[in-house]
Amino acid sequence: MKKLFKWWKTGKNKPSLSDESQIKTLFNYKRNSVLWSVVFGYGIFYIGRLTISVAKKPMMDAGILDATELGIIGALLFYTYAFGKLTNGFLADRANIAKFMSTGLGVSAIVNLLFGFTTTFWGFAILWAINGWFQSMGSAPAVVSVTQWFSSEERGTYYGIWAASHNIGEGLTFIGTATVVSIWGWQAGFIVPGAICLIVAIILSKTLQDRPETYGLPSVAEFKGLKPGKPKASKSIKDFQLDVLRSPVVIKIGLSATFLYTVRYAIHSWGPLYLQEAKNLGMIEAGTVMGVATMFGLGGAIFSGWFSDRFFNSKRSHPALIMSLIQIVSLFMIYNLPPNSQLMSILVFGLFEFTLGCLVVYIGGLWAVDLLPIKAAGSVKGIIGIFSYVGAATQDWISGLLIDNGKTITDGVDTYNFDAAFTFWIGAAVVATLVPLTLWKQKAQE
């Protein structure tokens, strides 16, 4: 493990380059490489963990697993993902992101390949728990990389662009995996994504970058002509991380993220099943609804950073409240969707995804990164992450139980009632809206 940590560790600072033209060319080249690598690469991470959402109905129909077992398996991934995000967030502050992030995706790829050849509940559970840990090596490293290569004045915009990556991955998963599963069966729904993830992991190891200083470049603040604060410069990363741990801000935003991610993964984990069982859509139709709707989320993520930077002076509180209220309305609309209506489903799920795209940017990380020391961005993201995915995990097994309890069998046909589940999901959305109000006038920590 010591050798592995040493290999992951960020490189030493190289002697500073002096040619301004060379600095500008190299810095812009590398930060463009970083941007597109974290956007594309983190999107592919989602392919490696959302496949089970699409494969749920075929696995249930085949009698391999029931809703409760699937809920437990999904919860195990989210629990290990949550605690992994905390640990890996702290490691990411000190890591060479190219090595660290590509390792996580590579191991996740191997787990997906093995999952496709498994048939026992405990085999599924152990593999998916392992997958959760290595999946947690994606988000915090990506955020650290964005903060290393993009300044505070532009961070909201570029953070929003990065945050849109999960919508790309979700769209590819819901549409692509649904097609693969419908043609070749549920096993292929894990084997094909696993192969894709492995290829992309190799690419990321070449296209992601370490800190600017390891290439002889200035920090992004210096590159943009900004003056980093002297108190911050005199403190170590450990000091910044301790500041984060002592701050009530990260706890409050984390609690909001717990309930936001409860709603997020309720729809993403159980939405395909809901559309098939309650709204009479076929597998590919349901996958198309979910996949197309995530493109609205992509728009929301990109819009969020620009919107808050442009109209709210980079404050996230006001737009977060607006989007939270719209999201609650969209959940009621999803619950009241008419059956057999793919177009209406796309529009309503699209509204939900647009608000979700915005809120994942604000509450899922950017708001806390803005208010807390930027040198500990990975730690901030890790702490928010453990709150977020404890909510996602707890949601999965509770939702599975509620859906199973609502099941009735008529003439040998299973029918599912989602009333109790939706009550739970909408309640979580309301709580997620209320908690951030306590940070309405919070100022950034110096």
- CATH number of the domain enclosing 202: 1.20.1250.20
Q: How far apart are CA 244 and CA 376, in angstroms?
A: 7
The list of the chain residues with pLDDT below 70 reads 226-234, 314, 365, 373-375, 377, 439-446
The pTM (predicted TM-score) of the whole model is 0.70
For residue 3, is it within any domain?
no
Q: Determine, yes or no, domain membership for 316.
A: yes
Report yes or no: 388 and 379 within 8 Å, Cβ to Cβ: no
pLDDT of residue 117: 87
Residues comprising the chain, all counted: 446
**Position 385 in a domain:** yes
- Please indicate, yes or no, if residue 9 is contained in any of the structural domains: no
Number of domains in the chain: 1
pLDDT at 228: 43
Range of the domain at 77: 21-214+236-439
In the prediction, which pLDDT does 83 show? 82
- The pLDDT, as a whole number, for residue 230 is 41
d(CA 241, CA 236): 9
Model pLDDT, residue 441:
65
Query: Distance between CA atoms of 258 and 262, rounded to whole angstroms?
Result: 6
CB atoms within 10 A of CB 187: 18
276-280: long-range contacts at Cβ-Cβ below 8 A with a sequence spacing of 24 or more? 276/57, 277/57, 277/415, 277/416, 277/418, 278/339, 278/416, 278/418, 279/337, 279/338, 279/339, 279/340, 279/341, 279/345, 280/339, 280/340
| Residue 443 pLDDT | 61
The verdict on residue 242 lying in a domain is: yes
Task: Give the mean pLDDT of the chain.
Answer: 84
Residue 184 lies in a domain: yes
Instruction: Check: CB of residue 253 under 8 Å from CB of residue 436.
Output: yes
User: Among 153, 309, 313, which Cα is nearest to 225's?
Assistant: 153
Rounded CA-CA distance 73/402 in Å is 16
Residue 172 belongs to some domain of the structure:
yes
Phi, psi angles (nearest 5°) of residue 418: -105, 10
pLDDT, one tens digit per residue, over 206-245 is 999 998 989 999 888 788 775 444 444 457 777 777 777 7
In a domain, 5, yes or no: no
Burial 428-445 (b: 16+ CB within 10 A, else e): bbeebbebbeebeebeee
pLDDT of residue 232: 44
